[in-house]
Amino acid sequence: MRNIWTIAKREYDQYFIGPIAYVAAVLILFVLGVFFAIDLLQFQQYAFQDLSGFLNTEREINLLPFFFIFLIPALTMRLVADENRTGTMELLLTAPLRDWELILGKWTGGFLFVLTIILATLIYPIILNSMVDPGIDWRLLASMYLGVILVAAAFLGLGVGISAVFSNQIAAFIVTFLTFVFLYWVVGFPANLPITGGGVFGYLSMSNHFSDFTQGAINLGALVYFTSLTILGLFIGTLSIEVRRWR
Amino acid sequence: MIQVSGLIKDYGARRALNNISFDANQGEIVGFLGPNGAGKTTAMRILTGYMPPTDGTVTVAGYDVVEESLEVRRRVGYLPETVPLYTEMTAVEYLKFMADLRHIPNAEDRAYETLESVNLQDRANSYIGGFSKGMRQRVGLAQALIHRPEVLILDEPTIGLDPNQVVEIRELIREIGKDRTVLFSTHILPEAQLICDRVLIINKGRIVAEDTPENLQSRLVGAQRVVLRVRGDADGLDTTVRKVKGARNVETKPDETVEFEFSSGQDIRPQIAKAVVQAGYELIEMRAVGMSLEEIFLELTRDNPSGKKSS
């Protein structure tokens, strides 16, 4: 536990050294802010100054997974590649640290960083809450944010795993990005075709699960789905480090 | 402290270490000497738990490097050849991180103490990215020392340093080696001669010689080499020397001296002196030259080692 935290803390601090963290946070907050402003104006026009029909920031929250599809590969691509380049991987692999602790620590650092950005986007529902009467549906909002957090967790897990397999940053980025695009949408396409077993593809599609959360539906299947993907990614990462040792 | 027996490491089809065995005791400084690509780094990486051996048993501080890798890693300090540093951290942040990984209480205090021991306390809060090669090496060494390890493994710790820094690092190693086991690699022979209690010469994945620097010298040299100097020209001196029974490999050097060898145990120096003087030369110097480790090294690491091989 302590080792995971030590690795995570260094990793988290690392994000704030370069410009990536600030650029990503500012970009996400800005785009969400633009959407939010447009929504506010439109509702004011249609509802004649009454905002009570505009009860949540679903449209804004729906944007977050799109950002993650680009942002998270950029965050995870250097996790292992950088350590290899500077030789610090040798340091970590000869420290009294299990391989899975290293991988889980890196994931935790990235997760806490993305969580920071996610929490910053809460300003929009908070603003909305102060403008509408009787206030927004906080339980629905919690469900939506749980969905966002689970998407981030699964993406980061896969990103860490893929970055451990590829020691080249560009390769890691491209493979991670394509994996996300595939998992989020592409895999779900056959579900709409008149074929038997199409439901399996529907279950594999991440956007399907995410939209359940945005509708306020938290089901066990979705929780299992996201947790499994996260663990799969971390498992691939650990295995890849172990294989590296034996080579 | 370190026991290696029958160690083999293959990288695919290439055999990097071929049946290596050696021991290192507490308080001993052992030098790993060999040309680049001899297998020094590979051996060190196995000892530090970075990679497992293909075959053979390796124990460090009584723990097996494969079965009890974490126990080994807790007791070993390691400075890899490429000094592993996070350049965007300050020296003290970096050492605190390493101390945290090793569960050291009061990590920050320990970080400062260790920086002091490598003489970097003035730069504790500077970013490592701005450090000179010598300073980086010292931060790397501090990282290896932070948990006061029983065994210290240093891969080419003096490479790329200027002469003053080399002297500093060597002194530091000698100091540390008083109560710990130090294994360090180098391809600089005088360095091994200076610091080590024992030298292992490794070439092409095999240990070709193992002894104290002094013994290596005398044991491997079956002959004694002598330099002769006379006043004025040395013309014909070599012929005079050659006439003495037992003189071998007689050579005239460009600086007008003549060198010759005789087998250990049959000292012909008095006969030589007599012959030289009788031939009318004014003998001003006769001096034995030891074969340097350099020559021994070349001898041992040549593709077809001669009969002098010992292991």
Beta strands in chain B (DSSP E): 2-11, 14-24, 29-33, 55-60, 63-64, 76-79, 151-155, 181-186, 198-203, 206-211, 223-230, 248-252, 257-263, 283-289
- Per-residue pLDDT tens over the stretch B257-289: 888 888 766 778 888 888 888 888 888 888 877
**B137 pLDDT higher than 80:** yes
Query: Is a pLDDT exceeding 50 seen at residue B309?
Result: no
Q: Which residues pair with B257 in a beta bridge?
A: B229
| Inter-chain CB proximity A91 and B80 less than 8 Å | yes
Residue B311 has pLDDT above 60, yes or no: no
- Other CB atoms within a 10 A radius of the CB of residue B236 amount to 12
Q: What is the dihedral of CA A221, A226, A227, A228, to 10 degrees?
A: 80
Give residue A17's pLDDT band: very low, low, confident or very high (50, 70, 90).
Answer: confident
Cβ atoms within 10 Å of A219's Cβ, excluding its own: 11
Distance CA B29, CA B24 (A): 8
ipTM given for this complex: 0.89
State yes or no: pLDDT of A61 exceeds 50.
yes
- The span from the CA of B32 to the CA of B201, in Å, is 6
Q: What angle is formed at CA A165 by the lines to CA A159 and CA A166, rounded to 5 degrees?
A: 90
Q: Are A87 and B84 an interchain contact pair (Cβ–Cβ within 8 Å)?
A: yes
Whether B84 and chain A come into contact, CB under 8 Å, resolves to: yes
Strand partners for B223: B263
Report whether pLDDT(B308) > 60: no
Return the pLDDT at A133.
Answer: 74
Q: In the predicted model, what is the mean pLDDT of chain A?
A: 89
CB atoms within 10 A of CB A127: 13
The stretch A174-195 carries a mean pLDDT of 86
Lowest mean pLDDT among A187-201, B164-178, B233-247: A187-201
Whether cis (ω within 30° of 0) applies to the bond prior to A134 is: yes
Q: What pLDDT score does B221 carry?
A: 57
pTM of the model: 0.83
Q: Binning pLDDT at 50, 70 and 90, where does residue B252 land?
A: confident
**Cα A100 from Cα A1, distance rounded (Å):** 11
CA B257/CA B239 separation, integer angstroms: 13
Tokens of B304: 């077809």
A10 interaction partners in chain B (CB closer than 8 Å):
86, 97
Closest-CA distance of chain B to residue A10, Å: 8
Using CA atoms, how far apart are residues B182 and B159, in angstroms rounded to an integer?
Answer: 17
d(CA B103, CA B253): 62
Which of helix, strand or coil describes residue A97?
coil
Q: Assess whether pLDDT exceeds 50 at residue B305.
A: no
pLDDT tens, position by position, A134-161: 778 888 899 999 999 999 999 999 999 9
A170-180 mean pLDDT: 95
- A-chain residue closest to B101, CA distance: A3
Q: C-alpha B10: how far from its chain's center?
A: 24
Distance from CA of A109 to the nearest CA of B (A): 14
**Sheet of B181-186: strands edge to edge?**
B76-79, B151-155, B181-186, B29-33, B198-203, B206-211
Q: Which residues pair with B20 in a beta bridge?
A: B7
B74 contacts on A by Cβ (under 8 Å): 96
The minimal CB distance from A245 to the residues B52, B73, B84 is found for B52
Q: Taking a C-beta distance cutoff of 8 angstroms, is the pair A244, B50 a contact? A: no
Confidence of residue B310 (pLDDT cuts 50, 70, 90): very low
**B18 DSSP assignment:** E
pLDDT per residue as tens digits for the range B55-76: 999 999 999 999 999 999 999 9
End-to-end CA distance of chain B: 21
Chain A residue numbers with beta carbons less than 8 Å from the beta carbon of B107 are none
Cα(A176)–Cα(B132) distance, integer angstroms? 37
Contact list in A for residue B98 (CB cut-off 8 A) is 91, 95
Rounded to whole angstroms, the Cα distance separating A3 from B73 reads 14
B14 has a chain A CB within 8 A of its CB: no
Distance from CA of B82 to the nearest CA of A (A): 6
